Each structure stands twice: as C-alpha cells, then as structure tokens.
Amino acid sequence: MGSIQVVMKFAIRTLPACLVLVCCAPVLASGPAISHASACARLKAAVAQQQSPRHGASEYRCEPAAGEGRGRYFVFALRAKHPSPPGAHPDWVGSSLVGWFAVSRSTGTVFEWDAAALAPGQRL
C-alpha cells in the first residue's frame, strides 16, 4: 500500500472525530449551562443565606432585567414578597427591591450587579 493510501485511510477514519471537535468544542468548553429558573433559585438561596434567619429563599421573587439578552449572565431585580418591615404602619410606602444581581449562565455563580457599569460586581 502506498503512502498516499495510508494517509487517505487515516484521514477517513479520523475526519468524523475532527469534525466533532471543531463543531462542538465551543459548546463543550462553555461548561454546564443553567436554566433561568435554576439561576433564580441560586440567587434567592444566596441572598437568604446573607440576610437574617427570618427571611428564607421563598420570601423573594426574581424579575428579569428589561432587555436581558443572551449574554454571559442572567440579570435580575430581586424583590421581597413582603416589602414592609416588621411593625410598619399599614400606610407604610416603600420599595420591595432588595437589589440587582447577576448569575453566571455557565457556572451559576451569583454576583451583585453594577447597574451603572452594566457588569457584575462583588461575588456573593
């Protein structure tokens, strides 16, 4: 068998594997992707862990940021389900916004969101 035939046999056998690596490497390298619901659950758990013990993860709700696209982060406005502080007057007026947060789509890491810079800030 000539050297050209050997090279051709090698190329035919290895070509499918090469195509898989070239086509799928970006997907494989991006790591495990998390869902929107999973990102929200991670955010609520992280914030509940930092807050006082009376606030569990069920005390919060996530609102996706307006215009959130397919970037590297899920961006949420985290709101408390019960906006008034304990013992507040019935006419108390205030915001339920706890803060702005980002969750990495590839790792699930939770960050504060810097709304001025439109970038993740300190890791929670």
pLDDT in tens, 58-103: 678 899 987 666 689 999 999 887 766 667 777 777 778 889 999 9
Q: Are residues 46 and 104 in the same domain?
A: yes
Any idea what the Cα angle at residue 105 is, between residues 44 and 98, rounded to 5°?
30
Q: How many CB atoms lie within 10 A of CB 42?
A: 20
Q: Are residues 74 and 26 in the same domain?
A: no
Q: Are residues 43 and 79 in the same domain?
A: yes
Domain that holds residue 19: 1-30
0.75 surpassed by pTM? no
Q: How far apart are the C-alpha atoms of 39 and 103, rounded to whole Å? A: 6
Of 19-28, 40-49, 66-75, 97-106, which gets the smallest average pLDDT? Answer: 19-28
Q: Are residues 77 and 109 in the same domain?
A: yes
Backbone angles phi, psi at 78, to 5 degrees: -95, 125
Count of domains observed in the chain: 2
Closest alpha carbon to 41 in 95, 78, 88:
78
